[in-house]
């Protein structure tokens, strides 16, 4: 069954490796091209992420270096990889092709400079997470006090993203920032978050957040990172992840769900889902609780329908 995965950190791993890594078949990568092919992943999001320890003056340069790596290591040597610059391309991918979406995980890299954000959007970024886990010039992240929210510059950022029909990703926002962003964002999604009711973690969504996000037209893509699935254990199973999918489906409807692995950004994995080549193991587990039609929605069709609404809004 085909899969759209809305988050991985391949670019970060490529950019920080001490020795060159070939995206096509690197054993060091959880989401290399050959593993994407084995796992039937037909669309993969590639996040631009810069470590918090990188000096602020160097972050934008590092972000653009990851954009360059996206072109020189992911796209150019691999003709099967198709850069998604228009959402309509998702429905025109040919057999054997893999769509590659570019996203930004945290606006730390732009400081308080909208021109830097415009440059990243011009480079093809289609989805923007306003923060990682910590405060920046835009808002407060998931590891910050929950009562500190969107900053004045953040409103300018959202205005630009709305104008450019960019999806705003709330996965790493703290609670107040989430609630501040929700009524302002034109297109909104949680690219890699689970249900806090099943696993108490600031990176997961409360029931209230999940319901409000969907009521605002958003989607929730579940993440494969064990600490966001089950507390106080390193042994997390596919069924444990499936329970989050089932819980959220019951809460907001199966038509609002998707997948966001976080591969190559995680140091612990689910048993039987250690890399994207094993993605069909998750499908087999979900078949125990969902119909084939429902799983096809979760794995790919929901997101395709979601971006159709973006395309239709552009034509109005």
Q: How confident is the model at residue 309 (pLDDT cuts 50, 70, 90)?
A: confident
The share of the chain scoring above pLDDT 70, in percent, equals: 98
Mean pLDDT of the chain: 96
pLDDT beyond 90 at 312: no
Note the pLDDT tens digit of each residue in 252-275.
Answer: 999 999 999 999 999 999 999 999
CB neighbours of 19 closer than 8 A, spacing ≥ 6?
Answer: none
Spatial separation of the C-alpha atoms in residues 310 and 312, rounded to whole Å: 5
Spatial separation of the C-alpha atoms in residues 225 and 300, rounded to whole Å: 20
pLDDT beyond 60 at 315: no
pLDDT beyond 70 at 314: no
Rounded to an integer, the average pLDDT of 238-250 is 98
Rounded to an integer, the average pLDDT of 115-131 is 98
pLDDT for 232: 86
pLDDT for 313: 66
What are the C-alpha distances in Å from 97 to residues 78, 278, 307?
Answer: 10, 19, 19
Say how many C-beta atoms besides its own lie within 10 A of residue 119's C-beta.
16
pLDDT beyond 60 at 165: yes
Spatial separation of the C-alpha atoms in residues 8 and 66, rounded to whole Å: 13
Spatial separation of the C-alpha atoms in residues 20 and 30, rounded to whole Å: 16
pLDDT for 50: 97
Spatial separation of the C-alpha atoms in residues 302 and 185, rounded to whole Å: 19
Note the pLDDT tens digit of each residue in 217-238.
Answer: 999 999 999 999 999 888 999 9
pLDDT beyond 50 at 316: no
Domain residue spans of the chain: 3-314
Note the pLDDT tens digit of each residue in 168-223.
Answer: 999 999 999 999 999 999 999 999 999 999 999 999 999 999 999 999 999 999 99
pLDDT for 311: 73
Higher pLDDT, 232 or 241: 241
Q: Are 195 and 244 in contact (CB under 8 A)?
A: yes
pLDDT for 192: 98
> Closest Cα partner for 251 from 294, 230, 220?
220
List the CATH code of the domain at 3-314: 3.20.20.140
Q: How many CA atoms lie within 13 A of 127 on its CB side?
A: 28
pLDDT beyond 60 at 66: yes
Quick one: three-class SS letters along 197-241?
CCCCCCCCECHHHHHHHHHCCCEEEECCCHHHCCCCCCCCCHHHH
């Amino acid at each position: 069954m085909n899969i759209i995965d809305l988050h991985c950190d391949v670019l970060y791993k490529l950019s920080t490796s001490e020795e060159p890594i070939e995206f096509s078949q690197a054993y060091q990568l959880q989401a290399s091209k050959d593993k994407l092919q084995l796992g039937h992943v037909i669309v993969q999001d590639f996040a631009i992420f810069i470590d918090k320890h990188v000096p602020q003056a160097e972050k934008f340069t590092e972000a653009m270096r990851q954009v360059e790596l996206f072109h020189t290591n992911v796209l150019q040597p691999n003709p099967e990889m198709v850069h998604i610059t228009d959402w309509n391309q998702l429905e025109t991918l040919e057999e054997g092709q893999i769509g590659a979406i570019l996203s930004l995980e945290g606006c730390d890299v732009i400081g308080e400079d909208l021109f830097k954000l415009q440059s990243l959007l011009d480079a093809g970024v289609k989805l923007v997470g306003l923060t990682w886990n910590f405060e920046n010039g835009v808002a407060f992240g998931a590891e910050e006090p929950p009562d500190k929210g969107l900053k004045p510059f953040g409103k300018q950022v959202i205005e630009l993203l709305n104008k450019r029909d960019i999806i705003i990703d709330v996965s790493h926002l703290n609670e107040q920032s989430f609630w501040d962003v929700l009524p302002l964002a034109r297109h909104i999604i949680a690219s890699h978050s689970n249900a806090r009711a099943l696993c108490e973690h600031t990176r997961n969504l409360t029931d209230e957040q999940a319901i409000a996000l969907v009521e605002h037209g958003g989607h929730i893509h579940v993440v494969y990172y064990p600490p966001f699935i089950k507390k106080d254990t390193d042994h997390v199973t596919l069924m444990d992840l499936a329970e989050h999918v089932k819980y959220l489906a019951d809460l907001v409807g199966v038509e609002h769900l998707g997948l966001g692995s976080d591969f190559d950004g995680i140091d612990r994995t689910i048993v039987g889902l250690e890399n994207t080549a094993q993605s069909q193991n998750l499908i087999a587990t979900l078949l125990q609780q969902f119909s084939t039609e429902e799983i096809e929605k979760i794995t790919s069709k929901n997101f395709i329908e979601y971006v159709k609404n973006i395309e239709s809004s552009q034509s109005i």
